[in-house]
Amino acid sequence: MPQQPKKPIIIFDFDGTLVDSFTPALEYLFTTLIPQFKITEISRAQIDQLRSQTLFQLIKKIRFGWLKVPLIIWKINRWSDQYAWSFALYDHVPELIRSLKKHGYSLHILTSNKTFVVETVLRHHQLLEEFTSIHASGGLFNKDKKLLQLLRQLNLQKSDIVYVGDEIRDIQACRRADVRIISVSYGLNSSAGLRQFKPDFLVEEPRDVFSIVEKLHHESTPPSPALAD
Ligand SMILES: [Mg+2]
């Protein structure tokens, strides 16, 4: 009996991959925080340029004073906890999630956001049931270690999974953890920025994730014993 091809387990990032948290966060930054902190060094026009940068380059370039950064991040997080329920999912994300699930893929989330935020947003969009597990790390860094921890928890091999994320640091984390990544260019980092870091796959739209995952699934068919001999 030929073995069935193994379906890759899909681990999604949350912010910038499933949910568009940046559009409302930028709105809050420009309408509330920038006037409140009297920041003059950044304009909306600069934001697009910054999308090809890593997080460190980005913070360095903005130059509004290191002392203000932790407070601004804290304020954005607090605001996001409160209003995340109203954040929109990217176009075609619900269709992507539902068709992956319908085709028998197991879906998980690994995020630096908080579990209750992820659950609130997904419940609001009636997608919570589609995910098998949610792993919230509550920190911006060390995603590679979190990925390896998750593999151990789910009792999976590195080659069983594929990660889907929107940032350069997601590519860096997957490289360190030796895990495949599908980068999406509609989130924080631009297509040009992501390409420089050579993700395994780069897609422009959520629905393109489906065809890549299907391709990985069919490529994973092991040779039949007769052929292997
Ligand atoms: Mg993200």
Token pair 């920025």 in the structure block, residue: 193
What is the distance between the alpha carbons of residues 184 and 201, in angstroms, rounded to a whole number?
9
pLDDT at 69: 77
Please identify, among 71, 86, 101, the residue that sits at the C-terminal boundary of a domain: 86
Ligand 1 midpoint to CA 111 (Å): 8
Q: Are residues 74 and 152 in the same domain?
A: no
What is the distance between the alpha carbons of residues 62 and 39, in angstroms, rounded to a whole number?
10
Q: Are residues 126 and 31 in the same domain?
A: no
Ligand 1 midpoint to CA 64 (Å): 23
* Cβ-based neighbours of 65, under 8 Å, separated by 6 or more: none
Residue 164, judged by CB atoms within 10 A of its CB (0-12, 13-18, 19+), counts as buried
Residues of the chain with pLDDT under 70: 1-4, 40-41, 49, 53-66, 138-141, 221-229
Ligand 1 midpoint to CA 9 (Å): 18
Helices and strands in the chain: count of H runs, count of E runs: 12, 6
* 168, two tokens: 């350069």
Q: Are residues 72 and 44 in the same domain?
A: yes
Single pTM value for the model: 0.86
Ligand 1 midpoint to CA 229 (Å): 45
Q: Are residues 207 and 153 in the same domain?
A: yes
**How many structural domains are present in the chain?**
2
Please identify, among 35, 66, 86, the residue that sits at the C-terminal boundary of a domain: 86
Ligand 1 midpoint to CA 188 (Å): 7
pLDDT at 100: 97
Query: Is residue 2 included in any domain, yes or no?
Result: no
* Cβ-based neighbours of 115, under 8 Å, separated by 6 or more: 134, 136
Query: Is residue 174 included in any domain, yes or no?
Result: yes
Q: Are residues 98 and 200 in the same domain?
A: yes
pLDDT at 27: 86
Q: Are residues 143 and 81 in the same domain?
A: no
Residues spanned by the domain of 28: 22-86
pLDDT at 229: 41
pLDDT at 95: 97
